[in-house]
Amino acid sequence: MRTVGVEEELLLVDEATAEPRAVAGAALADGPPSDEVVAELQQQQLETNTTPCATLAELAKEVRLWRRRAADLARPQGARVAALATSPLPISPRLTPEGRYRRMAREFGLTAQEQLTCGCHVHVAVESDEEGVAVLDRIRPWLAPLLALSTNSPLWQGRDTDYAGYRYQVWGRWPSAGPPEAFGSAEGYHRAVAALLATGTLLDRGMVYFDARLSARHPTVETRICDVCQDPRDTVLLAALVRGLVETASRAWHDGHPAPEVGTAQLRLAAWRASRSGLGGSLLRPDTHRPAPAREVVEELVAHVAPALKDFGDLAMVREGVRRLLTEGTGADRQRATFHRGGPTAVIREATGRTAA
């Protein structure tokens, strides 16, 4: 059983006004040091980290546990946590006063200063870098449908962007962000990363912001393409799908099946379309790279990983979670409906209720 873990970035908002609040430092200072709830780039956010979990039931428990812990830390500061991938209200982010983040602000200017986005990163265990790179090369076409399922950022600076996942557009301003190339081997991966670092553009390996990468800290494949989800059930669904993709790719590698040949430019288009319309329009099929209704592409994803999901005991949960999202809509759909009824403040208030429920 491959273990799976999740990092979630959460927005800190004022309990009374719902405006984003730069209180992360004060919130963390009042609690005991922890690896599970930590600071992020901006003081208006916190990051939660689960431990590696063998079952989805364990993971669901941890996701809720650390969301509640973040909420408990925020409460004495008059703040709450909201699982929103961008701020629905206008905001001037305030940088966390830590050395690395200060260097990022100096090097990347407005990109760093305006970067207040909240993602969901899923880590799945691999046995070696060689296996990890074989997985990365084989899951590349399947990352865009994951983004579509997670979209939860239609609003930016108080306005509707006409995107379902605008966070991905903002995140794409970092120089290394986006779909990775196919590397062929662990040696090829590390050579490519070394070449990026040799340009002097990135501060360190932590700034290799591929949509999926080898983790710099853990023996895992880390997907980074998804928005943070309001509903913790959706977080667990994404984790199940990513673990299924990793296992399916590893089996294909062990069986001698080559990685699919697809250009990075095509993958960039696929991710853009997923960011634009989420589950409300068309996506690019991972096999043909032609547009198809989002429902069909998502069902193709589930079919692709179904054998692995069945072996893990996750198939029924994934099918139910996908059915729910296709029927009820994503976080972006929920935000947009609430926005047009009650404005951005109503969106934030609704999200705080869902986040730590």
Query: What is the tens place of the pLDDT at every residue in 187-230?
Result: 999 999 999 999 999 999 999 999 999 999 999 999 999 999 99
Cα angle 196-200-204, degrees, rounded to a multiple of 5: 70
Q: What 3-state class would DSSP assign to 189?
A: helix
What are the pLDDT digits (tens) for 326-354? 999 999 999 999 999 999 999 999 999 99
CB 183 within 8 A of CB 310: no
CB 27 within 8 A of CB 46: yes
Mean local confidence (pLDDT), 119-142: 98
- Work out the pLDDT band at 239, boundaries 50, 70, 90: very high
Res 133: pLDDT: 98
What are 276's two structure tokens? 């634009």
Residue 104, domain member (yes or no): yes
CA 285 to chain CA mean position, Å: 21
- Work out the pLDDT band at 62, boundaries 50, 70, 90: very high
Residue 348, domain member (yes or no): no
Q: Is a pLDDT exceeding 80 seen at residue 108?
A: yes
Closest CA to 265 of 140, 112, 161: 140
E-state strands within the chain: 4-14, 37-39, 45-49, 79-82, 119-125, 155-156, 159-160, 212-214, 220-227, 282-284, 291-293
Res 33: pLDDT: 80
Q: Is a pLDDT exceeding 90 seen at residue 123?
A: yes
CA dihedral (330, 333, 334, 336) positive or negative:
positive
CB 150 within 8 A of CB 229: yes
Rounded Cα–Cα distance for residues 155 and 161 (Å): 6
Selected residue with higher pLDDT from 223 and 30: 223
- Work out the pLDDT band at 53, boundaries 50, 70, 90: very high
Q: Which residues pair with 293 in a beta bridge?
A: 282
Residue 345, domain member (yes or no): no
Q: What share of the chain is helix, strand, coil (3-state, %, to 5)?
A: 50, 15, 35
Res 34: pLDDT: 85
Rounded Cα–Cα distance for residues 148 and 284 (Å): 11
Residue 347, domain member (yes or no): no
Question: Residue 274: which domain range?
Answer: 4-338
Residue 272, domain member (yes or no): yes
Q: How many CB atoms lie within 10 A of CB 259?
A: 20
What are 193's two structure tokens? 């990363």
- Quote the pTM value: 0.97
Q: What 3-state class would DSSP assign to 275?
A: helix
* pLDDT, the chain, mean: 97
CATH number at residue 162: 3.30.590.20
Closest CA to 223 of 136, 285, 159, 137: 136
What are the pLDDT digits (tens) for 270-328? 999 999 999 999 999 999 999 999 999 999 999 999 999 999 999 999 999 999 999 99
What are 208's two structure tokens? 């290799």
What are 67's two structure tokens? 């969301």
Q: Is a pLDDT exceeding 90 seen at residue 32?
A: no
Q: Which helix H or strand E contains 253, and what residues bound it?
A: helix 232-254
Q: Is a pLDDT exceeding 80 seen at residue 185?
A: yes
Res 30: pLDDT: 84
Mean local confidence (pLDDT), 15-39: 93
Res 1: pLDDT: 82
- Work out the pLDDT band at 6, boundaries 50, 70, 90: very high
Residue 39, domain member (yes or no): yes
What are 177's two structure tokens? 């962000």
Q: What 3-state class would DSSP assign to 9?
A: strand
Specify the number of domains making up the chain.
Answer: 1
Residue 343, domain member (yes or no): no
What are the pLDDT digits (tens) for 168-181? 999 999 999 999 99
Greatest CA span in the chain, whole angstroms?
Answer: 58
Residue 254, domain member (yes or no): yes
What are 165's two structure tokens? 């996942």
Res 357: pLDDT: 74
- Percent of the chain past pLDDT 90, that is, above it, reads 97
